[in-house]
Amino acid sequence: MTSSIFFRTSFVDSLLKIYNFNPNAKYYGFYLMTNPVFLLRDPQLIKNILVKNFESFPNRFDLSNLNDPLVKNNLFTLWGEKWQNVRNLLSPSFTPNKMKMMFTLISECAKDFTKFITTLPADKGSINMKDAFSKYTNDVIATCAFGIKINSMKDPTNEFYINSKKITSNFKGIRVLKFLLIRTFPKLSKIFNFKIVDDYLSDYFKGILRTTIATRDAEHITRPDMLQLMMDIRSKGGHKQLDIDDMIAQAFIFFLGGFETSSTAMCFAAHEIAANPKIQLKLQQEIDKVLEESHGEVSYEIINQLEYLDAVISETLRLYPPFPILERICEKAYELPSALPDEKSVIVKKDMSVWIPVFAIQRDEKYLDNPEKFDPERFLDNKMQSSLWYMPFGCGPRMCIANRFAMLEIKVLLFHLLARCELKPSAKTTSPIKFRKDLMIMPENGFWLNIQSRKD
């Protein structure tokens, strides 16, 4: 892993090397700096730890000593009872009915995006898809989590987008080393006052939310977005459940997840669609059919009935999961079965880590044929979704709470884009993808495609 930390290899290449070290082992261990880590390979063992024996591994890495409320107080990083309370409060906000409420807001962003793309000159050439999709996800998060309407394709210098990019870009070099120090030596973050988000950026996003909340309270404004859902549960049961700082922290993690991971997933999906014309044609035929049947009035229900679109996104998330690993910290000593037939069982002690190598498991030929091939047909007729080894959003009580939102955000964008455009490789497109030498799942030369308006 040291080679990927110092950018000599990509993280996923290092992960695959460790994962494939002994294909017959259920798990094995290594040291990440000074911390022992158990890397799990057996899907049933993984399910036991994430679901059945969740009480022994309930938390992710510890950020409680971080002097950075936006980062340490959000649902992703919270521990114990505080996490459980916030999870219980927020879960009703991500039901299908609540997603239906936000569908219109997301659709408006997708329409703005596609309208701008179709106005570009036909000879535009290569388009930086990461830059383009980041503007779309930025606008979705701005409207759904922060309650403000912007159009970053038309106005790429708007303050919200500029500050968003400052937070999410360039997670490398000193930032990566700082993060690893925080993770490995959590108490150091308190001693040296480490922060992941600069104060001026934190203050900017806090200011937006405080102003929006105050305005809505004073003028009795309601809006079908995440912020409103959190405002509605502030005093659920007659006493305060979420204060304004809690709400800001949750909005911030939705921003981080929705901005970066969703835009990257869209990039990989678009890359594979462009590289596979038959898949693109089948997708467009499915989209054209529902547009004709609905007379162009697409609803939340219609979007979620598109089986092939769902399969394309699911296959994208299999090959390129948002997080290459899941990590859990041992809370209560746990006995692992023997890794190999002739070996003894092993005790995972409190505060030790286990890693679930999602990227590697979802590409293991033990579980599917030709795993490196992009083949959405795997996911038709619900053939894969219930498998033990498919977990792009995690598994168990700490599964990503916003997985429905992420899927909807991606589906709506691809629907509107493919309804009006053709995606084609450009001179800058690299195929097959070679991963960049850092901790993120990103191609070495970025995402570049040629987008043209459809002729029919």
Give me the DSSP letters along 204-261: HHHHHHHHHHHHHHHHT---SSHHHHHHHTTTGGGS-S--HHHHHHHHHHHHHIIIII
What angle separates helix 277-293 from helix 262-275, to the nearest 10 degrees? 110
* Residue whose structure tokens are 């455009």: 421
With a CB cutoff of 8 Å and minimum separation 6, the contacts of 59 are 79, 80, 83, 328, 329, 331
Residue with tokens 């409190």, as numbered in its chain = 350
CA distance 40 to 181: 24
Rounded distance between C-alpha atoms, residue 195 and residue 178, angstroms: 9
Residue type, 452: Q
Cis before residue 357, ω within 30 degrees of 0?
no
Q: Residues at the annotated binding site? A: 400
Bond prior to 432 in cis (omega within 30° of 0): yes
Q: How far from 370 is each of 319, 363, 373, CA to CA, in Å?
A: 12, 9, 6
Token pair, residue 184, equals 């490995």
Residues 77 and 327 sit within 8 Å (Cβ to Cβ): no
CA distance 177 to 297: 49
Q: Do residues 201 and 166 touch, judged by C-beta distance below 8 A?
A: yes
Q: Residue ranges for the binding site for heme?
A: 400
